[in-house]
């Protein structure tokens, strides 16, 4: 079964920010490679969304509807509702994830 993939506008903004950071801090070539790998990773959720796991920061809260997959160091946070996968965040896992997840997902 294929799932439909929807990317939150904030997640699209995350991707642009990651790309721009790598392009400036490293190189456009590496930013392009990273972008392709991130896209491949989140597009794979159309076929295998259940392979993700509950983010560590949410495990103790009892909130189990959000899952994540990685393209290190980046984390892709999503939820599945019926046959739709909603990507909420694409973020560098070295950020303050507790604060980010609270402000983005628990609003």
Measuring CA to CA, which residue among 4, 2, 10, 15 is closest to residue 85? Answer: 4
Note down the domain range covering 20: 4-105
Q: Does 3 have pLDDT greater than 90?
A: yes
12 confidence band (pLDDT: 50, 70, 90) = very high
In the chain, what are the helix, strand and coil shares in percent, each to the nearest 5? 50, 25, 25
- The predicted-structure confidence for 28-66, as pLDDT tens digits, reads as follows 999 999 999 999 999 999 999 999 999 888 887 788 899
The domain total for the chain is 1
What CATH number corresponds to the domain at position 15? 3.30.2310.20
Instruction: Give this prediction's pTM.
Output: 0.88
Burial 11-38 (b: 16+ CB within 10 A, else e): beebbeebbeebbeeeeeeebeebbeeb
Report the percentage of the chain scoring pLDDT > 90.
Answer: 70
Sign of the Cα pseudo-torsion (59, 63, 65, 66, in order): negative
């Amino acid at each position: 079964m294929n799932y439909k993939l929807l990317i939150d506008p904030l997640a699209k903004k995350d991707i642009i920010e990651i790309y721009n950071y790598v392009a400036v801090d490293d190189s456009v070539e590496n930013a392009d490679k990273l972008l392709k790998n991130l896209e491949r990773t989140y597009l794979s959720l159309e076929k295998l969304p259940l392979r993700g796991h509950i983010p560590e920061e949410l495990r103790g809260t009892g909130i189990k509807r959000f899952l994540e997959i990685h393209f290190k160091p980046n984390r892709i946070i999503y939820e599945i509702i019926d046959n739709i996968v909603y990507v909420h965040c694409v973020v560098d896992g070295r950020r303050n994830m507790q604060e980010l997840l609270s402000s983005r997902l628990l609003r």
